[in-house]
Amino acid sequence: MTRVDVGDEAGSPVVIVTGAAGQIGSAIADALAERYAHLVLVDLAAATLEAQVHALAGLTEIVSVAVDATATGAAGDVFDAAIERFGRVDAIVNNAGAEGPIAHLEDVDVEEVRRLFEINVFALLAFSAEAVRRFRPQGRGRIVNMASGAGLAGSAGMAAYSASKHAVVGLTRSLAREVADAGIQVNAVCPGCVDSPMMERIETRLGELAGTGPASFVPSIPAGRYCDPAEVGELVAWLALEAPAYVNGSTQVIDGALRA
């Protein structure tokens, strides 16, 4: 694997990853580390984050920041930590997210939805805004937002989650138009069903709503399987480090032809 510099001749690119301790976040960090990116890994789960740092220590340089991405000022603190260690930031992956309440809409607790939007939308917005502040002066930078196939179509029983991911897609498209002339790329990744603990929770809860056992989407996926988290990691790393500069404002779908 050759090193990718994202427009800087001095050394490895520097990438922030939020939600880095989760299964998809870990796969993203792995894919970036394999490309010799320096990493700033952000997550509330400090112990899991530190285990991940130790696992990747032989591949690249890493800063870990154990913080709630929804906390006021978290975005600025993370960027400050990155710049203090590495001198700059080249890209950010807004991966922190949650599935929120899975229920018929009339049974949804609005306070749970507010918390879901704090994680999936408002934290992402805050980190993206901070990224733009830091990227404009350097004339380049990449923002990769984790959306979902649920952000492109409806999902019964998951109205809150789907609404939050539609918001991510809309934010991505609008921000890309706003900052393309500053040399900043903003793209979204829309995974379908990913083999992960979150998917297991969703299957269980949807099965409960239907009065059956755990639901499985595999029969409806032309590829005949769920996505491996490493496949998502590869796509995200491509957008963060390798994609042509003209790839901007896109929603990159990875779903085994589910919505083809």
> Strand, coil or helix: what is 87?
coil
The first and second tokens of residue 41, run together, are: 């890994």
- Per-residue pLDDT band for 164 (boundaries 50, 70, 90) equals very high
Question: Which burial class, exposed, middle or buried, applies to 76 when counting CB atoms under 10 A from its CB (0-12, 13-18, 19+)?
Answer: middle
For residues 41-62, average pLDDT: 94
Phi, psi of 41 (to 5 degrees): -100, 125
Predicted confidence at residue 1, as pLDDT, reads 30
Asked if 233 contacts 31 with a C-beta cutoff of 8 angstroms, the reply is: yes
Distances 100 to 2, 67, 180, 186, 199 between C-alpha atoms, Å: 39, 20, 32, 25, 12
Q: Which of 36, 161, 226, 246 is catalytic?
A: 161
What domains lie within the chain, and their CATH numbers? 14-193+228-253 (3.40.50.720)
Report the chain's terminal Cα–Cα distance, integer Å: 31
pLDDT (tens digit, 9 = 90+) per residue, 2-19? Answer: 333 344 445 899 999 999
User: What are the tens digits of pLDDT across the range 95-149?
Assistant: 999 999 999 999 999 999 999 999 999 999 999 999 999 999 999 999 999 999 9
Predicted structure pTM score? 0.95
Per-residue tokens: 56:
């990747």
SS3 144: strand
Q: What is the pLDDT of residue 10?
A: 58
H helices within 88-158, ranges in order?
110-117, 123-138
Run of H or E residues at 34:
helix 23-34
What is the residue type of 47? A
Residue 91 contacts residue 141 (beta carbons within 8 Å): yes
Collapsing DSSP to helix, strand or coil, 60 comes out as coil
Sign of CA dihedral 11, 41, 240, 79: negative
Residue 161 designated active-site: yes
Q: Quick one: which of 237, 234, 235, 131 has its CA closest to 184?
A: 131
